[in-house]
Structure 1
């Protein structure tokens, strides 16, 4: 299992568009992905779950990736956050 912290840099936070990009990237993997904000924990494959985190710009999230391709998936998710969800 790989765990790392990311900062939400997207203006407006993890609203529908960035949440959808994250879900699309998560759907292409075999690994289990979870996002934590404080006491809330959600499935990284659920757009509604991600949006219920209420993550706004500047919030820090703990991301956990567990599975056969976890290293590739973790790097991909980190890149998505680092690039502020720009393709």
Structure 2
């Protein structure tokens, strides 16, 4: 289980084993996230990884800058902080 801190609000959510992606974990805690494809194609869910690391479930096809992640196709690798 990983703790995910949302830097803009200070909200903390838990990412559990049953959550297949970071996006699903955020949704399970009623965190509103923009998304379209849920597969890494569109980049709509793009956010900045402030601290920590993620494991990519699939390589994102959407362009992301260094320090950005797509919650739809990754999981937290330990505790992380994201900007959203």
Length-normalised TM-score, structure 2: 0.32
The higher relative CO (CA closer than 8 Å, separation ≥ 6) is in: 1
Length-normalised TM-score, structure 1: 0.31
